[in-house]
Chain A
Amino acid sequence: AQSVSQHNHHVILSEAASLELGCNYSYGGTVNLFWYVQYPGQHLQLLLKYFSGDPLVKGIKGFEAEFIKSKFSFNLRKPSVQWSDTAEYFCAVNARPGTYKYIFGTGTRLKVLA
C-alpha cells in the first residue's frame, strides 16, 4: 500500500538554525509531491509542490525541497528558520496525478525558539 513517512514528529530549533524535515514515500510509479504547513489555528497552506522537471523545488517563505527518486524522498529544507516558522508540516503524495486523493504523512511539529 502507498504510504508516506515523516520520521521527525517533533523538532525544536533555535532561530537561525537550519532545518531539514524528512519525507519518504512508498510508491513505484509517477507521483506528485507536496509539503503543507499549518500554523496554529489556521488552514493547511501549500508550501511547495513537485510534479516534474527540476527536482529542487523552491516554495514560499524561503522553503525548498529536493525530490530524490532513487531514495523515494522529498525532504523539506530551510537554511535559517524564524520564530514565525513554528507550525506543523505535512508531506503529502498524490500517487494518482489528476486527482487530489492525497496520502499524508503524520506531520512534524516544529517549534522555533526565539
Chain B
Amino acid sequence: EPEVTQTPSHQVTQMGQEVILRCVPISNHLYFYWYRQILGQKVEFLVSFYNNEISEKSEIFDDQFSVERPDGSNFTLKIRSTKLEDSAMYFCASSEGQGPNTEAFFGQGTRLTVV
C-alpha cells in the first residue's frame, strides 16, 4: 500500500539552527500539506502546496518557515532559525486531489525537539 514517508523520525536541534524536515508524498498525489502538533495540543494546519506554490498557509507559517519540492519526489519543510516553541510533531500529508471523494494520507510524523 502506498504511504507517505517522513524523515527523520526524530530530530534534535539547537535553538537558532536551521532544520529541514523531509517528506516523500505518494507518487501520483498533487497536493501536499504540513501540519504540526505541539505536545498536548491540537494538530494544526501549517501550509498546503500545489503546482509548485503555496496555496494556503496559516498564521503559524511565518517567514521562518518555507516549503519546497526540490525534485519530483520530496517535499520539505524548512525552519530557518528554530525556537524552543517550534518543538512539536510535524506531519506531512498528500492527496490526489481536493474533491470531496479524495482522502489525505498522512506520514508518521517527525518529532522535532529544539533545545
> What is the interface of chain A, defined by CB distance below 8 A to chain B?
4, 32, 36, 41-46, 49, 51, 90, 92, 97-107
Contacts and interface: CB of A to CB of B under 8 A. Distances in A.
A100 B95 contact: yes
The SS class assigned to the A binding surface is strand
Given A43-B3, A43-B4, A44-B91, A102 B104 contact: yes
Interface residues of B, number: 28
Contacts of B108: 41-43
Contacts of A107: 37, 42-43
Interface of B: 3-4, 31, 33, 35, 37, 40-45, 48, 56, 91, 93, 95, 98-101, 103-109
Nearest to B9: A41
A104 B35 CA distance: 10
Given A43-B108, A102-B35, 12 more contacts: A4-B42, A41-B108, A43-B105, A49-B103, A92-B43, A99-B56, A100-B33, A100-B93, A100-B104, A101-B45, A101-B56, A107-B43
